[in-house]
Structure 1
Amino acid sequence: MSAFLEPQNLILIGIVLMLLVFSSFFSSSETALTAASRVRMHAAEKAGDKRATVVSRLMNIRERLLGGILLGNNLVNILASVLTTKLFTNVFGGGGIALVAATAVMTALILIFAEVLPKTYAISQPDKLALIVARPISLIIKVLSPIVLLVQWIVNIVLRIFGIDTNASAWTAADEIKGAVDLHLQEGGVAKRARDQIYGVLEIGELTVEDVMIHRSNLSMVDLAMPTDELIKSVLSSGHSRLPVYSNNSDNVVGIIHVKDLLAALVKSGDAAAVDVKKLLRESWFVPETTSVVKQLRAFQSKREHFALVVDEYGALMGVITLEDILEEIVGDIQDEYDEELAGVTRYKDGSAVVRGDIAIRDLNRAMDWKLPDDEAVTIAGLVIHESQTIPTMGQAFAYHGYRFEILTRERNQIQSLKVRKTFEPDQRKDG
């Protein structure tokens, strides 16, 4: 034991301990600077914190950052190991005992005090520590820059040989936000409704009018040829403020009747039969089904309108798009006293649901917190038909995308209702 207290050995011990401190600094810095929140750093930078500017700059050169930290960490660890071996050689002589002892001691010291302890501390408060270590790490990277660039060049060449592109990233900014929101939802930090609203904002740019419109099969319309009193009753009992009015056939929409205009005319005339419905009709506004939702929202704002008819490329009526439909994509269902909560969806305690065939996949996903794909179909019935490549019959069941679809009712070629639940059954898609 007295051999450790000799002056040259005490110097070696002091240097090794100092190197372990440096190693701990590099390890904690690596964890802090890679785990720090870009969002919070950006906010701190906007608030005038110059340290946050340095952190953001380091995050933007992540390869050089990691290269510099790992280079510095390896240098001090290797040097500490060499000096420890020298120390134990001085104490125990040049045999194998010195090498085994040095290896065991340095493994324990580096693992505990230079890796686990500093990284555990850093991961508990990465933002705070990142601000502290940013400037010294930035200086170290500048000093080691020539070596780091050489190492980075060699690494990129090796990765390129194996066909790996270090610049490619499958994640977009929207994906990162969605991932963060989903994580906070699981941890209880974000409510499901708030998650759905954030998703709505992020995804609205991907939608077209066709994705959110009310399909013509669910559309309330009135025939101009109806007796005036019947037409008025039909409009007032519909529960809608605006209805398309057609003549001869439902594709020939001649205008839009607004309940407010109709009531004003009734009050003025005092007699339903005396109301001239043709004079009350407002001009129809037709929009293509391929119009983006964002573009249509801006059009609603500029024209100060809330209602438009959707047509396909041949001019055939496909449905109706309203300002409310678009807003619901962001804020969720906007219900009034005439709306039914989750109309067309009946939930069961086992997690399944009986769903009307024309229910939009996006609405069902929101209501049930499911992840059914809506790339190839708008409605749940359309999804089943697309995947099965047939018009299913009553009683048929399919398993797609981790869900089981059982056809309950069908009228002619339309799926009226089906039961949907999550399943572990094998996917029946050919490419599934």
Structure 2
Amino acid sequence: MEINWSVKLFALFIFVLLSAFFSGSEVALFSIRKEKFKKQFSKNKLISGYVNNLLNQPRRLLVTILIGNTIVNVAASITAVSIALNLAPKLEISNEIAIAVQIILLTLLILLFGELVPKVYASKNPYKFVKRIAIPIYWTNVIVYPVAETITELIKISFSKIKIDKSKTVLTKDEITELTEYSHEKGKLDLEEQELIQSIVTFRKIQTGEIMTPRVDIKAISSDANFEDVVSRINETGHSRFPLYKENLDEIVGIIYAKDILSYLNNGNEKKSFSLEALTRKPIFVPKSKHISELLREFQTKKMHIAIVVDEYGGTAGLVTLEDIIEEVVGEIWDEYDKEEDPVKKISDNEYIVLGKVSIDEVNDILGGSIISEEEGFETIGGFILKTAGSIPKDGYNFKKKNFKFTVKEVLGKRIKKVIIEKENKS
């Protein structure tokens, strides 16, 4: 009887060990990346082949693991009950109490050593764990194939009749944003990585009108320009592409590439036959409301890098380039011709110099409240100044709003380039 009890205790140990084997296998096999595993174990073709075979049929693998785990847990329960009934008379307790104690102890035993410990270890060392269990789990998969395949087919049939809302099985954009913010706070993501992920998430929402170069900043070439005028314009701006217009910017007739002008530079005879019309490429016209994800695909299809943005009346509102779109994901790209200028420059705790193109939202953030309302019909600080002045103001024009003083620092043509914002201390 003593030998029988010892054998049962040993069997119980084996069953708990097998439970740990199946639990850890589940976590490890579904945690690894197949390609990385192949590289790490490229010299061990046997294990690599077994793992590849298992992962090619994930549903069947999961069913195999669940069958194995269920069988050993049931076997452990039966063995534990038998041990409890054998010990009850010796301990002079009733069978009911012995079984109740057995249930509590076995639950703790399986939960701790059959589930938690192996799963934690496997999650931290998935590749090492898979290397150890690949062969036995593969042959277990082969042995229980008929049962596993039958259950797998039943699952397919059952779930084929159930409509699953796939949109609820993935993270929403807001959840991804919150997750990146949390990861950044915990030090798992640096600021650049967080901003990159959030830019990708919001990419599809952005409209062309939000990122375009406004009409007043467009560097274009007149269709009447001669060769020297065109070369001068290229040298002056450093741009590689220019809109070509007739009377004004509302009559853009094409796009000129600077590289097409190169062949004329050292050839006097060709300069005489120079014709802008012959070098003109057909422009792309897009509305301000077009999403940049759609425009990116259009650029790829038509092999273009620049598009003219039009307003609801068909007039030219601005232009947008491939670089503008890419910058929405990776951030500002500076080349040798770009002159970086801070949109907001802090002079003191109470004074800022702000570019006219800075948005009202950004200005309000700087000033610490809703000082200016967008509902008044403008989007930038420059637009706010223009509406307040009622005309094109001169340098030095100023006014007060709430406890802030706004002074025009620089006007370029019809556009306000820089504004000084001062917070006045209340006496």
TM-score range (shorter-chain normalised) is: 0.5 to 0.7
Question: Does 1:396 pair with 2:396?
Answer: no
- Contact 1:242–1:259 (Cα < 8 Å) also in 2: yes
Q: Deviations over 1:364-388 (max 9, x none)?
A: xxxxxxxxxxxxxxxx899xxxxxx
SS state of the match for residue 251, structure 1?
Answer: coil
Superposed, which structure 2 residues align to 1:116-131 within 5 Å? Answer: 116-131=116-131
Q: Which moved more, 1:245-254 or 1:331-340?
A: 331-340
Q: For 1:80 and 1:67, how far apart are their aligned partners in 2?
A: 20
Instruction: Give the letter aligned to residue 96 of structure 1.
Output: E
Query: In structure 1, what is the equivalent of residue 284 of structure 2?
Result: 287
Q: Secondary structure at the match of 1:249?
A: coil
Aligned partner letter, 1:335: W
Residues in 2 aligned to 1:209 and 1:198: alpha-carbon distance in whole angstroms: 20
Alignment partner of 2:249: what SS? strand
After TM superposition, the structure 1 = structure 2 runs for residues 89-108 of structure 1, keeping only pairs within 5 Å, are 89-93=85-89, 95-108=95-108
8 Å Cα contact 1:297/1:326 also seen in 2: no
Question: Matched residues in 2 for 1:197 and 1:191: separation?
Answer: 10
Aligned pairs for 1:154-303 (under 5 A) are 163=162, 165=164, 170-171=169-170, 192-193=191-192, 214-216=213-215, 218-223=217-222, 237-238=236-237, 240-254=239-253, 279=275, 282-289=279-286, 292-294=295-297, 296-297=299-300, 299-300=302-303
| C-alpha distance in 1 between matches for 2:122 and 2:165 | 26
User: 1:367 maps to which residue?
Assistant: none
The reply on whether 1:110 has 2:144 as its aligned counterpart is no
Query: Would the alpha carbon gap of residues 108 and 327 (structure 1) be closer, same or farther in structure 2, given more than 3 Å must change?
Result: closer
1: CA distance, partners of 2:42 / 2:180? 23
- The secondary structure found in structure 2 opposite 1:132 is helix
Q: Tell me the residue number matched to 1:339.
A: 338
Does the CA contact (< 8 Å) of 1:222 and 1:235 recur in 2?
Answer: no
Which runs of no fewer than 5 residues in structure 1 stay unpaired?
270-274, 360-379, 383-392, 399-404, 418-432
Deviation readout 1:22-46 (Å, 9 max, x if unpaired): 1111111112122223452365588
Deviation at 1:314, TM superposition (A): 9.6
TM-score between both structures, scaled by the size of structure 1: 0.60
Output the amino acid matched with 1:135. I
Amino acid corresponding to residue 105 of structure 2 in structure 1: V
Alignment counterpart, residue 58 of structure 1, candidates 54, 61, 64? 54
- The RMSD of aligned alpha carbons is 5.7
Letter in 2 for 1:104: I
- Name the structure 1 match of 2:4: 8
**TM-score, with normalisation over the residues of structure 2?**
0.61
Identify the range of structure 1 (97-106 vs 191-200) with the bigger mean alpha-carbon deviation: 191-200
Contact 2:37–2:48 (Cα < 8 Å) also in 1: yes
Q: What's the offset of the Cα at 1:280?
A: 5.8
Pick the structure with greater CA Rg.
Answer: 2
Task: Classify the secondary structure of the residue corresponding to 1:334.
Answer: coil
- Contact 2:283/2:307 (<8 A) preserved: yes
Q: Which residue of 2 aligns with 1:374?
A: none
Which residue among 54, 57, 76 is the counterpart of 2:72?
Answer: 76
% of aligned pairs identical?
26
- Distance change >3 Å, CA 64–CA 210, structure 1 → 2: farther
The Cα of 1:122 is off from its aligned counterpart by: 0.9
- Check the 8 A contact 2:296/2:322 in 1, yes or no: no
Structure 2: any 5+ residue segments left out of the alignment? 362-369, 388-415, 418-427
Q: Following TM superposition, by how much is the alpha carbon of 1:155 offset from its aligned partner in structure 2, in angstroms?
A: 5.4
Tell me the residue number matched to 1:21: 17
Name which of structure 1's ranges 331-340 and 219-228 shifts more when overlaid on structure 2.
219-228
